[in-house]
């Protein structure tokens, strides 16, 4: 009798996906978290203990992708394990190929969506609201909601999609919707930054002193120049600016 | 003071969890943690002044590729915590500005110096992963959950311990900050806008991606917003 996964098992996988990077390390990266997340499915598919432990150990091997979209790969892997357990096909090699293909594809898509677009957008919106409403928590609330809601929705929904559609999910409308979302978020981000900079220049309608406006413009110009190169990092540049500013303050105040 | 201090340390541990090991919901971003600490310490302006600058720098620090990025989860809590602790000791405006400056600098240094700690933590996780695989093959099914929760406990402890160190350094440096608060406040007036502009540029670079029409959108919204804000206000 072939065993099939149910909704409760898929939900347990999604819940454990929140610990995907608990033991992140250079050698296996998300390997341990991946095996821990898939454990509910393996427990249901392999009642025989030694076979189950063998599968778990196999899944602790190297794996790495963008942590939110990893759910899609977990769902697809659970589906392949289901086929393996029922003898309908699939083996260790095909599982490794599936993980490798999905891992790199989801990383390329997910990094651009979450790290390069949604995260900067959430931060920009948060900073804009923090400047506009300095006496309220709107900035922090907006930053968290704008990122966490889609992040958790994809994390919990992704397992079911991956289980239902498998790798095919990434070739069709899903990928086009993500690409379109990235384009719109980037344009919206430009608008949010324009408004935030205007607010920084003239909070409450009162233009700040010319020295402050020049410092803002100078920082913007320097930032655009340094952003063309990954090293030194923005933090190193900002630290250098801080040390320079402190030196000037000490000299001016004699 | 003891309550907010302990609360700051717990927020530091929780931020270290949200950054990578658990959930990754951006609750560990500096603006979010600084807002929480602003509530804890009851000093909103200082918290948001530090949180806004550190947030804009954290947003341009991306966890992509092999490079271990600066850790603004710990940096954000350390910076805001130090600033709020210093500002609570002398209720003058220039002392608050001096504290904000020291907080931002502390946050950036803490974020930078946390990188070797992160690397050590990830090396420790490698040993944990190897132990887990051999324990699984030896028949101990619970090894997987034990390894995961051990890694979570390690991350929380390192985040909390890092904040203890930075707050202790902040406490040790308090007399100097109070003595030099006028100079530091003067430096803050220059550096705060400089840092904001610098951070805006990193985000703008992320959005524009060499597409001139997006730069045009930015310029138009800047001018439009400025007109509305300045011309629109009574």
Model pLDDT for residues A143-156, shown as the tens digit of each residue: 999 999 999 999 99
- Does residue B62 carry a pLDDT above 80? no
Residue in B21, B55, B124 closest to A22 by CB: B21
- Does residue A171 carry a pLDDT above 90? no
Burial of B63-102, coded b for 16+ CB within 10 Å and e otherwise, reads: beeeeebbbbbbbbbbbbbbbbbbbbeeeeebbbbbbbbb
Residue in A32, A189, A192 closest to B148 by CB: A32
User: Between chains, do A130 and B195 touch, taking CB under 8 Å as contact?
Assistant: no
Residue B124 has φ and ψ, to the nearest 5°, of -60, -40
Percent pLDDT > 90 in chain B is 89
pLDDT at A174 (0 to 100)? 85
**Which neighbouring-strand residues pair with B160?**
none
Encode pLDDT of A21-65 as tens digits.
Answer: 999 999 999 999 999 999 999 999 999 999 999 999 999 999 999
Distance (Å) from the alpha carbon of B108 to chain A's nearest alpha carbon: 7
Answer yes or no: are the C-beta atoms of A200 and A216 closer than 8 Å.
yes
How far is Cα A189 from Cα B124, in angstroms, rounded to an integer? 39
How far is Cα A56 from Cα A60, in angstroms, rounded to an integer? 7
User: Between chains, do A139 and B186 touch, taking CB under 8 Å as contact?
Assistant: no
ipTM above 0.90, yes or no: yes
Give the torsion through C-alpha atoms of A83, A87, A93, A97, to 10 deg: -20
- Does residue B163 carry a pLDDT above 70? yes
pLDDT at B184 (0 to 100)? 95
Give the torsion through C-alpha atoms of A216, A220, A222, A227, to 10 deg: 150
Nearest to B225 by CA among A40, A205, A225: A205
Encode pLDDT of A79-131 as tens digits.
Answer: 999 999 988 878 889 999 999 999 999 999 999 999 999 999 999 999 999 99
Answer yes or no: are the C-beta atoms of B223 and B81 closer than 8 Å.
no
Residue B63 binned pLDDT confidence (cut-offs 50, 70, 90): low
CA contacts within 13 A on the Cβ side of B193: 22
pLDDT at A253 (0 to 100)? 66
> Which of A94 and A166 is assigned the larger pLDDT?
A94
CA A90 to each of CA A6, A48, A81, A94: distance values in angstroms, whole numbers, following the listed order? 20, 19, 8, 6
Residue in B25, B141, B217 closest to A144 by CB: B25
User: Between chains, do A234 and B60 touch, taking CB under 8 Å as contact?
Assistant: yes
- Work out whether the CA dihedral A163, A165, A167, A171 comes out positive or negative: negative
pLDDT at B233 (0 to 100)? 55
Query: Number of Cβ pairs closer than 8 Å across A and B?
Result: 341
User: Between chains, do A140 and B36 touch, taking CB under 8 Å as contact?
Assistant: yes
Residue A139 binned pLDDT confidence (cut-offs 50, 70, 90): very high
Residue in A21, A189, A198 closest to B226 by CB: A198
Residue of B nearest to A223 (CA): B198
Encode pLDDT of B75-108 as tens digits.
Answer: 999 999 999 999 998 878 999 999 999 999 999 9
Distance (Å) from the alpha carbon of B167 to chain A's nearest alpha carbon: 19
């Amino acid at each position: 009798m072939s065993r099939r996964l149910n909704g409760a098992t898929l939900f347990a996988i999604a819940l454990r996906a929140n610990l995907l990077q608990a033991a992140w390390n250079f050698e296996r990266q998300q390997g341990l978290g991946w095996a821990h997340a898939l454990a509910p499915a393996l427990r249901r598919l392999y009642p025989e203990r030694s076979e189950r432990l063998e599968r778990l150990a196999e899944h602790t091997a190297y794996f790495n992708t963008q942590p939110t979209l990893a759910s899609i790969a977990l769902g697809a892997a659970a589906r392949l394990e289901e086929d393996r357990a029922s003898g309908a096909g699939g083996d260790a090699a095909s599982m490794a190929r599936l993980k490798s293909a999905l891992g790199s594809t989801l990383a390329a898509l997910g990094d651009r969506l979450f790290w390069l677009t949604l995260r900067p957008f959430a931060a920009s919106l948060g900073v804009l609201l923090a400047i506009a409403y300095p006496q309220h928590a709107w900035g922090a609330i907006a930053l968290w909601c704008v990122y966490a809601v889609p992040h958790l929705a994809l994390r919990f929904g992704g397992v079911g999609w991956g289980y239902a559609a498998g790798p095919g999910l990434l070739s069709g409308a899903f990928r086009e919707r993500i690409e379109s979302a990235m384009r719109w978020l980037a344009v919206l981000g430009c608008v949010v930054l324009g408004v935030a900079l205007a607010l920084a220049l003239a909070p409450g309608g009162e233009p700040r002193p010319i020295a402050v406006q020049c410092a803002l413009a100078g920082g913007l110009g320097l930032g655009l120049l340094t952003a063309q190169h990954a090293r030194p990092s923005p933090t190193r540049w900002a630290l250098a600016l801080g040390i320079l500013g402190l030196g000037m303050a000490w000299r001016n105040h004699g | 003071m003891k309550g907010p201090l302990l609360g700051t340390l717990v927020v530091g541990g929780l931020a270290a969890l949200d950054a990578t090991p658990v959930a990754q919901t951006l609750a560990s971003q500096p603006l979010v943690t600084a807002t929480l600490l602003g509530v804890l310490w009851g000093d909103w302006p200082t918290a948001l002044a530090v949180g806004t600058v550190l947030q804009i720098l954290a947003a341009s620090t991306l966890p992509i590729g092999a490079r271990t990025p600066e850790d603004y989860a710990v940096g954000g809590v350390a910076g805001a915590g130090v600033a709020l602790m210093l500002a609570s000791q002398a209720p003058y405006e220039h002392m608050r500005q001096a504290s904000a400056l020291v907080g931002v600098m502390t946050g950036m240094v803490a974020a930078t110096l946390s990188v070797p700690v992160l690397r050590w933590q990830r090396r420790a996780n490698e040993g944990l992963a190897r132990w887990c695989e051999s324990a699984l093959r030896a028949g101990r099914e619970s090894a997987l959950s034990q390894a995961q929760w051990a890694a979570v406990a390690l991350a929380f402890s390192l985040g909390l311990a890092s904040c203890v160190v930075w707050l202790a350094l902040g406490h040790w440096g308090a007399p100097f900050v109070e003595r030099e608060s006028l100079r530091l406040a003067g430096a803050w007036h220059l550096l705060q806008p400089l840092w904001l502009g610098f951070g805006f540029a990193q985000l703008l670079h992320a959005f524009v991606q060499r597409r001139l029409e997006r730069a045009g959108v930015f310029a138009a919204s800047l001018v439009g917003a400025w007109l509305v804000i300045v011309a629109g206000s009574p």
